[in-house]
Every structure is written in structure tokens, then in C-alpha cells.
Structure 1
Amino acid sequence: MTRVVVAPDSFKGTVSAADAAAALAAGWRAVRPRDELVLRPMADGGEGTLDAFATTVPGARRMPVRVRGPVGAQPDTVETHGVLLPDGTGVVELAATSGITLLDRLQPLDAHTAGFGDAIAAALDHGVSRLLLGLGGSASTDGGVGALAVLGARFAGASGRPIGLGNRGLRALHRVDLSPLRPVPPGGAVILGDVTNPLLGPSGAAAVFGPQKGADAATVTVLEENLARLVRRMPSSVRPLAAVPGAGAAGGAGFGLLAWGATMGGGAAVVADAIGLPEAIRGASLVITGEGRFDGQSAAGKAPTEVAALARQAGVRTALVAGAVTAEPRGFAASVALVDLAGSSAVAMTEPRRWLEAAGAQLARSVDLPG
């Protein structure tokens, strides 16, 4: 029997990875009903990471948690969850706790990561043996200070009082004490992310991602200055971490987590291994992957590129489905853009499942497979 593995990332803002996989599979089955379809929804550490683990790893459990939202100091404003894997690993996703989609109005100077810290603390309280920390989709540029403060670090102004949450609070930062931080779990904490940006500079968190979070040119300058102040006030052993690739992820949350003791891991690669994707691909006739937009950044650790690399290692062809394809899809046996099927991006985004089904059917008709 012909076996096809369906492993897309989420189509950001329109459909989850699990729903995208189901729609692609439905379209494929309409044309080739006898094929065996194996669904492995993917993620790279951003939005949809929790769902990828929860729906794919046997025995994974969603763990409800209540955290403070991305803006303001009051807790208990966001009902969300983490995921507990059978081996005792906890998975926490920044997008689900301190994400940009949780805001009605972008607030680049005041958004923070304290809710992310609340979720990490809840996982530690539960006694997880290891943590996987999904970064992506953040609303803030606070260098991870909000999360670190929840975990015990002290960030004080000249008066000795705690600074305010968000990037704006960093302007008053005078003293940092990381010694009260809760320890990472026995098995460590791994950062799942798909960006390699440092914390500071023209390719840093403020310059590259600040505008996506509502910052104009003047505000980007403020964000950068405040992050630089954070680095200067950090212990000398921590300051070099600002230059580590990925330190600028999620508004500098990568830097904060590195300062805590977490390690960098390629988001898509870690997720693929955890959900058993390499094993699923072995012996398959085709792998279908995809994401909302396939562009020049997709080669830098994004889920479709990781899926294609695993398939290539196994000698299996890969097909790509994306909302839009704006870069040459090298290495793929076939590719389909939803905007081409629907006629426009607006139509494609209005009914993403319909056009994903259409894409699955088109691939089933066009890719030459046995049976």
C-alpha cells in the first residue's frame, strides 16, 4: 500500500497544523482513497507547538494553567495550557501565554513575558523532568525579563524597588540579581525557535521584530537602547549571551532563557524528533509539508525545510503546500500555492480548509506514485 506522510506547520492566523494536515489528507483521500495517510502536524517552536505535541505524541496530556496576559501586572487573565509528555517532559509555548494574538492593541513598550514565566513556574511546580520552551509569536521586547522575574530573578531600579514590566521598565534598570532564580529541571530546558538573530544590533530583536509588534522607527530606537541597558546591567558572565544566535528570538526572550541556563535547540528539529517524524517517514512514498508563506526565511530552520531534509535523508520525495510561495521551492518534487488555487490571498485566507483540501487533491492527481 502507498503510504503518504502529511506533516505541515500551521498556516499562521488561519488554520492550525493539525487542521491543515486533516484538510490536506481529506483532499488526497478524495482522489486516492486506498492510500495509507499518516498525519504528523509539525511546528518550529512558535504558534501551534503545543498542539503538535498534544495531537501526535501518544500519552501526551494538556495541563491547564492560568497566567497573566501580555500587558499589565495582574495575574489570572489568560486561560491556557502546557503539555506534559509521557517521559515527564513539559512543553510551554510563549505564543499561548504572552503572544501577540492575545492583544487587541499592540503595545511594544509595555508588553511583557511574565505570563510565559507563570506557565514555566507551573511546569516546575508540577515536577517536570525537562522543559521544551517554544518561542515565537511574542508581543513583547523585554529581553525575557518578565519571565525571569517570575522565576525569582530580581530587576531593581536605583531605589532598590522592582522595575516595571515590559521594555519600558528596562529604562530604570540599575541592578540585576540572578542568584534567586529557580533552577532548570534535572534534564535541562531546551529553547525551541526558528530564528538566529542576536539580541542587539541591526539584525537584533528590536530592529527586525519591533515593527511587527507595533513599533515605529523612534520606538525601535527606544527598544534597542533599553535592551542594551539590560545587557550592561547583567552579570559579566551573562553579557556575551546577547550575541548567541537566537538570543533575539521572541523579543529577546531567548537571551533571558539562556541567562537562566536553558540551551538553544532547533525548534523544528526537536519537534520532529519528539513526534516520531523520522520513523514515520521511513518507507513512505511521499511526504507533504507546508506553511502559510514559503519565502526566503523558510530555509532558516522552518518546519517545511526540516521535514524536507528528513525525507531527503530517507530517500523519500517531498511536496510543498503554502499559502503563498515567494521563493524558489528547491528540493521539492511538487509545490502548490493556495493563492493560485483560490485566485487571491484574501479568498484563500477566508476559506483555508477548502483550499487546503483542493491542494491535497491536486497533489494526489499530479504526483506520480504507485497504485
Structure 2
Amino acid sequence: MKKFVLIPDSFKGTMSSTEICETLESVIRKHFSDAEIVSIPVADGGEGSVDCFLTALSGEKVEMSVKGPFLDDTSAYYGLIDEGKTAVIEMAAAAGLPLVEDRKNPKKTTTYGVGELILNAANQGVEKIVVGLGGSSTNDGGCGAAAAAGVKFYNAAGESFVPAGATLKDIERISLEGLEKTIKNVKIVTMCDIDNPMYGAHGAAHVFGPQKGADSEMVLELDAGVKHLAEVIKRDLGMDLAEMPGTGAAGAMGAGMVAFFNSELQMGIETVLDTVDFENIISDADYIFTGEGKIDSQSLRGKVVIGVAKRAKKQNKPVIVIAGGADENLEEAYENGVTSIFTINRLPEPLEISRHKSKENLEATADNILRLLR
């Protein structure tokens, strides 16, 4: 009996990682009816990440009411896996762009609800919390989430308040004394796949502000607020985070996770592989299938394919990549553990046409690979 491990990223805009796993499993069953198949759909920390973990590991959904981006009540959930020892939270559940609909305004939106999710999970007695960054509507540096967890922010008048993008500039002092004890005892890992700094031309506001509704004037205002936050964090908490890669993620939520929650920022795929105990899963595997929409130079920077291949290489396991497309000069991928790369597009067609045939093309490509393996 053959064992297949399926761990693809999504094909952005065409197929989710869960759909890819289901398609591959269907094709494998045609050729190896008694195969053992382990599916680990991967998400980047944004919307759908919790469901991917629950699909891979099973577990429990915890639903609760939290404050949304404008402090209105909204329903959200997180996942409990590993027999309740680990919680998986996606910030998009409480602060995501879809929640603001046509009211985009990163000067006013808050991550407060994300902090409520984190606190609730900590109070469940978990040992570890995984927080996925991505798809946020906010630019508050994680201050809202921190406030929900007990961190205090004071203005010039000595009054405590919950900072948002427009009021980061009003922070005069930060105190961690009120941070809930249950959070202090939990290891928190933040999934973060970008390396942007907190502020500046490549920072949170300039790079991601426009997609959240910020015009050029607002971008400058938000950027100045995040810069001020960085200065207060450095003075009051002794952390110089301004240039730390990833601190600009999700409206500088990356910085907030480090400063207020003592979290480690980690590439999403590394977090997934650690959480699912990947080394153990592949120890008796015959083939590992992974892939993404396009494998290129970005893929070689620790994204899903290379993250999987590097770990598989240590056990000398074959890694088969199926992608929508592939750049030239991918020798580095092979050096890092990839065995072979197959692209699914069978005809030279524009993406606008081929994207509608993604499932059909994936099935055909997988079928050809499985015929060879059989």
C-alpha cells in the first residue's frame, strides 16, 4: 500500500488548497485504490486558515461574539486542535476586509476583536496559540488587540484609550502591567509571510493602506502614527521593532504581536509544518505532492513548496510539485529537495481562459503523473 501526503498551497483566484487536495485524492484513488492519503491544505494565515488546520488535524470550532472592525458585535470563531492544547486564530475573522464591506477606513478600524479571540483561547487553558495575519482592514499596530487583552495605552491627559489608526499619534505611554496572566503563560506564534518593516516606503501604511481604503493623504497620516507607535514601544518596552522584517504585516499587527504578546513571527508554512508534526507524517510516505499557482523566485523565499521540500529532503522523500505555471531557472528548487515540477496548463492560453479550466487541467496532469508512478 502506497502512502501519499498532499500539502498544496492554493492556486490564487482559481482553486483553494482544500479543493486541490480533494481533486488529487480523487485521481490517486483511481490508480491506487487502497492508498493511504493524508491531506494537509495550506492557507497563508488569512481567511480560511482555521478551516485548513481543522481539515488537516480535525478539532473543534469555538464560536463567540466579538467586536468587529468598527467595534460592532460580530460572530467569529477559532479552532482548537491537538486535543485542545493548541488554538488557531485568523485575524481576518474579527478584523478582516470583508467585515467592513463598503466602509473601508483604516483610520478607524480596530483589531480589538482579535484580542478577544486570543484571550478567550488563553482562558481555555491552551498551551499554544497560532495567530494568522492577513486580509486585515486595520492599521492600528495591534493596539486594539492588546487593549482587549489588558494592555493600557495612555494619552497626554493620562487617560487610557483604545488606539486606532488615526489615534496612534496620541499614545504617550504604554503599560503591560494589566496584560491578562493567562496570556503570559501561553506560547504565541504568529504566521507572517511578508517581510515589510513597520513604517516608511515599504511599511504597513504605504504598501497595504491603499487596499484598505486609504488615499495618499491618509497613508501619510497612518505612517506617521505607526512611526510614533514604534518610538513609544522602543522607549517604554525596550523593543526596537521598526526595521524587524514582518512587523509591518497586517497594518503593523506583526509589531503588535511581538511587542504586546511576546510572539514569534514565523513563515506560515513553517508554522503549519510544525503544528501538524510533518516530519512524523512523512516518515513512512512514498510520495509528497505540493504546489501553488506559480512557482517562481518568490517560491524560493520560504513559501510552501520550498518549505515542504527542505523538510522532505532530510528524509530523502520524493516531492512532486504541480503548479499553474513555472518560471525558468528553478535549479534552486531542485537543490532544496524538489524532485520534479509539472505545470497543469496543456495549451498556450492566456490566464483569463485557462483559469476556468484549472480543475480539469489539474486532474489531467495528476492522472498522467499517477499513470507513471503506477
| TM-score range normalised by the length of the shorter chain | 0.7 to 0.9
Q: Residues of 2 paired with 1:341 and 1:169: CA distance?
A: 53
Q: Residues of 2 paired with 1:326 and 1:103: CA distance?
A: 37
Q: Which amino acid aligns with 1:153?
A: V
Q: What's the TM-score, normalizing by structure 1?
A: 0.86
Residue in 2 that maps onto 1:139:
137
1:348/1:109 CA distance change after superposition, 3 Å: farther
Give the CA deviation at 1:182.
1.7
Deviation by residue 1:225-259 (Cα, 9 ceiling, x = unmatched): 11011122235234413332222222211111111
Higher RCO (C-alpha 8 Å, min separation 6):
1
Q: Residues of 1 paired with 2:106 and 2:351: CA distance?
A: 28
Residue in 1 that maps onto 2:96:
99
Query: Structure 2 matches for 1:234-273, cutoff 5 A?
Result: 234=233, 236=235, 237-260=237-260, 261-273=262-274
Q: Which amino acid aligns with 2:78?
A: H
Q: Residues of 2 paired with 1:125 and 1:358: CA distance?
A: 46
Query: Structure 2 matches for 1:211-222, cutoff 5 A?
Result: 211-222=210-221
Give the CA deviation at 1:35.
4.5
Q: Residues of 2 paired with 1:327 and 1:224: CA distance?
A: 38
Residue in 2 that maps onto 1:89:
86
Residue in 1 that maps onto 2:299:
298
1:310/1:227 CA distance change after superposition, 3 Å: same
Q: Does 1:192 align with 2:191?
A: yes
Residue in 1 that maps onto 2:283:
282
Deviation by residue 1:257-287 (Cα, 9 ceiling, x = unmatched): 1112222333311211221322232343332
Deviation by residue 1:151-177 (Cα, 9 ceiling, x = unmatched): 112223333444565311213333322
Would the aligned equivalents of 2:61 and 2:79 in 1 still touch at CA under 8 Å?
yes
Deviation by residue 1:41-97 (Cα, 9 ceiling, x = unmatched): 223433332123212225x21111222222x122x2233333343152222111222
Secondary structure of 1:243's aligned partner: coil
Q: Residues of 1 paired with 2:89 and 2:174: CA distance?
A: 25
Give the CA deviation at 1:333.
3.9
Q: Which amino acid aligns with 1:192?
A: M
Query: Structure 2 matches for 1:319-358, cutoff 5 A?
Result: 319-325=320-326, 329=330, 330-331=333-334, 332-337=338-343, 343-347=349-353, 355-356=358-359, 358=361
Residue in 1 that maps onto 2:180:
182
1:221/1:129 CA distance change after superposition, 3 Å: same
1:23/1:244 CA distance change after superposition, 3 Å: same
Q: Which runs of 5+ in 1 are unaligned?
A: none
Q: Residues of 1 paired with 2:202 and 2:168: CA distance?
A: 20
Q: Residues of 1 paired with 2:13 and 2:184: CA distance?
A: 33
Query: How many correspondences in the alignment?
Result: 365
Q: Residues of 1 paired with 2:285 and 2:328: CA distance?
A: 26
Deviation by residue 1:280-306 (Cα, 9 ceiling, x = unmatched): 323433322123454433333322221
Residue in 2 that maps onto 1:49:
49
Q: Residues of 2 paired with 1:334 and 1:356: CA distance?
A: 20
Q: Residues of 2 paired with 1:210 and 1:278: CA distance?
A: 38
Q: Which amino acid aligns with 1:20?
A: I
Q: Residues of 1 paired with 2:286 and 2:372: CA distance?
A: 7
Deviation by residue 1:299-356 (Cα, 9 ceiling, x = unmatched): 333222211222222222323334454575532444445566694434555x5xx623
For 2:115, which of 111, 114, 117 is the aligned residue? 117
Would the aligned equivalents of 2:9 and 2:291 in 1 still touch at CA under 8 Å?
yes
Give the CA deviation at 1:5.
1.6
Q: What's the TM-score, normalizing by structure 2?
A: 0.85
Residue in 2 that maps onto 1:310:
311
Bigger mean CA deviation after superposition, 49-58 or 159-168: 159-168
Identity score, percent: 32
Q: Which amino acid aligns with 2:127?
A: S
Q: CA RMSD in A?
A: 2.9
Would the aligned equivalents of 1:188 and 1:262 in 2 still touch at CA under 8 Å?
yes
Would the aligned equivalents of 1:193 and 1:267 in 2 still touch at CA under 8 Å?
yes
Bigger mean CA deviation after superposition, 277-286 or 110-119: 277-286
For 2:362, which of 347, 354, 359 is the aligned residue? 359
Q: Residues of 2 paired with 1:103 and 1:328: CA distance?
A: 42
Deviation by residue 1:171-197 (Cα, 9 ceiling, x = unmatched): 333332222122435242122222232
Secondary structure of 1:115's aligned partner: helix
Secondary structure of 1:139's aligned partner: coil
Would the aligned equivalents of 1:46 and 1:193 in 2 still touch at CA under 8 Å?
no
1:204/1:90 CA distance change after superposition, 3 Å: same
Q: Residues of 1 paired with 2:267 and 2:126: CA distance?
A: 21
Q: Residues of 2 paired with 1:46 and 1:34: CA distance?
A: 34
Q: Residues of 1 paired with 2:219 and 2:206: CA distance?
A: 6
Secondary structure of 2:62's aligned partner: strand
